[in-house]
Amino acid sequence: MLRIIVDGLAEQPHVALARIWLTGPGDICATCRMRPECPDQSHCLHLEASSGRSLAEPGANWMRTDGNFQRFPVGARKVGQIAATGIPLFVADAAEQPEWIAQPDWATREHIRSFAGQPLIFGSETLGVIAVFSRVELNEVDLRWLRLFADHAAITIVNARAFEEIEQLKHRLEWENEYLREEISQSQAFGDIVGSSPGLKKVQEQIDLVAGTHANVLILGESGTGKELVARAIHQRSQRRDRPLVKVNCASIPKELFESEFFGHAKGAFTGALRDRIGRFQLADGGTIFLDEVGEIPLDLQSKLLRVLQEREFERVGEENSRRVDVRIIAATNRDLEADSRADRFREDLYYRLGVFPIQVPSLRDRTADIGPLAVHFVRHFCDQLNLPPRKLTRGDLAILERYDWPGNIRELQNVIERALIRSRGGKLKFELGEFKQRLPQRPTPLREEVDATPVLTLSEMKEMERANFERALKQCNGQVYGEDGAAALLGMKSTTLWSRLRSLGILAEK
C-alpha cells in the first residue's frame, strides 16, 4: 500500500519524487552517514517507499530505499523536523530557502521548485513522514491535498500493523497449542515423579528450593533417568506455571537450523523461509525453556545462547532489530560439562551461567527401592493406554526387575514393561532384559547332568570383563567414543549409553 501511495503521487506530472519514511529502531548506526546529526541512536526514520522520475538521468532508479537518505535522524533537517514536531512543512520556493535542500546540485539538475511534507499521524502517535519534491511551485491547496494522502497512509500503516500482530498472535497460538498437545501427551506418558528412595528425596528437596526462584537450573544425569520430569516439576511449582514450558532437544536440531529454531526467522531469510516464524525463545516468553541435551549445541553457536542469558535479547534470522525476552532456562545433559569446558568443548562462561543451581538425578541402579513403584505405575499406565485388562506384578516379577542393572534407566524399564504386556497376551509376564541381567549373584544351583557346569561369573568379574572390553575398543578407536569411527559404533551401542557406562566405570575417554 505504501508503494501504491508514492506511485500515485509520482504519477502527477509536476511531482519529481515522493517518499515515505516510518519511525523504527536505530539499526545501522555504525554505518549511517547521518549519525553525526543523530541525537539518539535508539530510533530514527526508515525510508520504506520511494517513487519518481529523473529529467537529468532518464532511467535512473528512484524506487530504491537504500540510498543516502535511507535513514533520517528524528529532528534533523526538514524530514526529521516534521517527525519531531508533528507539524507539516511547506517550502514554496526552494531557491529562496536553499538551507532546506540537502543536495542543491541535484535540485538544480532536476528543476526542483517546491517541497511539501506531512507527518503520518494516528491518534497521538507520529508514525512517520510523507514528502514530495515538485517541479512547480506548490500552494496551500497542494499541502491539504497531501494531507489526504498522509491520512490514508497512516490508516494503512495502522491496519497493516494490526493485521501483522494478529498473524503473529495466530502463529503463536498455533505453536502454543502444538506444545500444549505435546505437554498433555508427555504428562500422560510420564506422569509425576514416582519413588521415595533417599536419592530421589534429595532431588525433590532441591526442586522445592529452586522452583520459586528465577535461577537457571542445570539437570545432570544419565540418559533415561527422568531429567525432563524434573524440569517439568520445577516449572509447575514456579511463578511461571501459567506460561508455556517449551522443550528443545538440542541433539536433534541440524547445525544450520539452530538459530532459526531458537530465535525464529523472517520471511525470505533463506531458501524455504516462506513466512515469518516464531522461535522457541519467543514462544517461551514469560515462561520456561527446557534445553535438553544442551551439551550438543555447537561451540560456535553457544555465544548466541550466552547473549540471551546475559542480555535477554536476540535477533531473528534475517532481521536486524533486537527483540527482548523474559525466559527462565532449565538445561539438562548427560555429559560432564565441567570437563568439556576445561577441554574447550563447551564455553566455560556458558557453563557457569547455566549451572547456577545444578541438580544431579541418580541412575535407576542407585535407587533400587523405586523400581517396584515405577514398574507398578507403568503397568497401570500401559494397560489403560493399550486397552488391556488390568494386570498386577508378582513378587517374583519385582525380584527379577530389581536384580537387573538397568543401563537404560527408567526409559528402559518403561519399554520392558510395555513390551512384556504386549507379548504376554494375558499370561505370565516375561521380561526381555539385556545382557547384564543380574544385579546380584544368584544362589548356587545343584548341578545336574544336563546343566552346563561352566563357573558362573560374579558381578564384579563381569564388570572387569566389561571394563577390559571397553578399554580394548577405545584403544582401537584412538580414544574416540562418538562418530562412525568411534568405540560406540564398534561395540554396536548408542554413544550416550557407552559414555554413561564409561563414566560409571571410571574410564576416561576423549569425545
Could you count the other beta carbons within 10 Å of the beta carbon of residue 243? 19
DSSP E strand stretches across 92-175: 114-122, 125-134
pLDDT band, very low/low/confident/very high, at 187 (cuts 50, 70, 90): very low
CB contact at 8 A, 23 and 42: no
Residue-level pLDDT at 450 = 37
Q: What is the pLDDT of residue 434?
A: 67
Instruction: Identify which has the larger pLDDT, 56 or 170.
Output: 56
Distance CA 482, CA 460 (A): 27
In the prediction, which pLDDT does 265 show?
80
Give the H or E element holding residue 265.
strand 264-265
Counting every residue written for the chain, the total comes to: 511
Residue among 361, 359, 356, 104 at smallest CA distance from 225: 361
How many other CB atoms are there within 10 angstroms of residue 172's CB atom?
15
**CA distance readout (Å), 402 to 144, 145, 421:** 87, 86, 18
Give the residue, 269 or 156, on which the prediction is more confident: 156
Report which of residues 453 and 195 the model is more confident about: 195
Q: Is the pLDDT of residue 191 over 70?
A: no
Residue with cell 498473524: 167
Higher pLDDT among residues 100 and 23, named by residue: 23
What span, in angstroms and rounded, lies between the C-alpha atoms of 336 and 496? 12
Please identify which residue in the block is written with the cell numbers 524530514: 79
Name the pLDDT band for 189 (thresholds 50, 70, 90).
very low
∠245-249-254 over CA atoms, to 5°?
A: 135
**Domain 2-163 maps to which CATH number in 3.60.150.10, 3.40.50.720, 3.30.450.40, 3.40.50.1820?**
3.30.450.40
The residue-averaged pLDDT of 93-105 equals 74
Domain 364-424, CATH number (from 2.60.40.3880, 1.10.150.120, 1.10.8.60, 3.40.50.2300): 1.10.8.60
**SS3 (DSSP) at 203:** helix
Distance of alpha carbon 297 from alpha carbon 294, whole angstroms:
6
CA distance 289 to 172: 15
CATH number of 191-360: 3.40.50.300
Residue 25 parent element (H or E): strand 15-25
Q: What's residue 461's pLDDT?
A: 63
Say if residue 511's pLDDT is above 60: no
- Helices 459-476 and 495-505, interaxial angle, to 10°? 120
End-to-end CA distance of the chain: 56
Of 27 and 357, the structure prediction assigns the larger pLDDT to: 357
With pLDDT > 90 as the criterion, what percentage of the chain qualifies? 26
pLDDT level of residue 331 (50, 70, 90 thresholds): very high
In the block, which residue shows the cell 559404533? 489
**Helix, strand, or coil (residue 405):** coil
Cβ-Cβ contacts under 8 Å for 1 (sequence gap 6 or more): 153, 156, 160
Cell of 12: 502527477
Q: pLDDT tens digits, residue range 372-389?
A: 999 999 998 888 888 888
C-alpha cell at 142: 497542494
What single DSSP character describes residue 136? Answer: S
Tell me which residue of 56, 94, 50 sits closest to 72, measured CA to CA: 50
* DSSP summary character for residue 480: B
pLDDT tens string 228-286: 999 999 999 999 988 888 898 998 888 888 888 888 887 767 766 667 777 888 888 89
CA-wise closest residue to 220 among 301, 372, 340: 340
294: confidence class by pLDDT, cuts 50, 70, 90:
very high
